[in-house]
Amino acid sequence: MWVIKLGGSLLGSEELTHWLNLIAKHGNGKVIIVPGGSVFADAVREAQKRSGVNDAVAHKLALLAMDQYGQLLAAMNPNLVTASSELELAECGWQHKGVIWLPSCMALADAGIPKNWQLTSDSLSAWLANKLGAEQLVLVKSKTLSSYQASTTLQTLVHDDLVDSEFASLASGSVFGSWLLHKTDYALFEQGFHVAQLKEKGLLVNIPLR
């Protein structure tokens, strides 16, 4: 199983359409999309600023924002299905569908997930990958990755806002590979999702041992 995070920055790009098409075509119940928050999360930030509600409330609203973006992605490609529980994820797998995870139900049920803005959909992707025993986690980025090397530390990636500061904690102890890809790298998977293609351009994230 692969978990692929498609961030909100991809909204409106042709690359997003290509990613959705490929996952719908080759997902086969083994690829799960984690949506970012996109413009919906931006609205939560603005609402918190105006209302003064605490981060715990904003966290809940941000998860619902991810649900909204996920529903939007599903509307963009009718061959993708949404799932909000482990049972629904399993059922989608049995149906050999490409899946979009709606995170609010599962994430809000786990009191151990930090409730602040330092946590983003990147870390929630790692949380889900751990929970489901995924083999690969792919974070698709709009920022170019050409200046980074295999030896790049996680600290550098956090400093450069490529992953959030909670990522190491939620990915700790994982058995899956964590990779960064640029949004234009969708062409790697024209024939399906295989690790060999991932290694061609993917930047492997070095998770510190704890």
Q: And the tokens for 4? A: 């692929």
- CA angle at 107 for the pair 37 and 184, rounded to the nearest 5°: 35
pLDDT tens digits along 133-142: 999 999 999 9
- CA angle at 149 for the pair 16 and 1, rounded to the nearest 5°: 50
Which pLDDT band, with edges at 50, 70 and 90, does 31 fall under?
very high
The residues spanned by each domain of the chain are 2-204
- pTM beyond 0.85, yes or no: yes
2-204: which CATH architecture? 3-Layer(aba) Sandwich (3.40)
| pLDDT at position 95 | 84
The average confidence (pLDDT) of the chain is 93
Which pLDDT band, with edges at 50, 70 and 90, does 177 fall under?
very high
- Can you tell me the distance from the alpha carbon of 176 to that of 87, in angstroms, rounded to the nearest whole number? 21
H or E segment to which residue 36 belongs: none
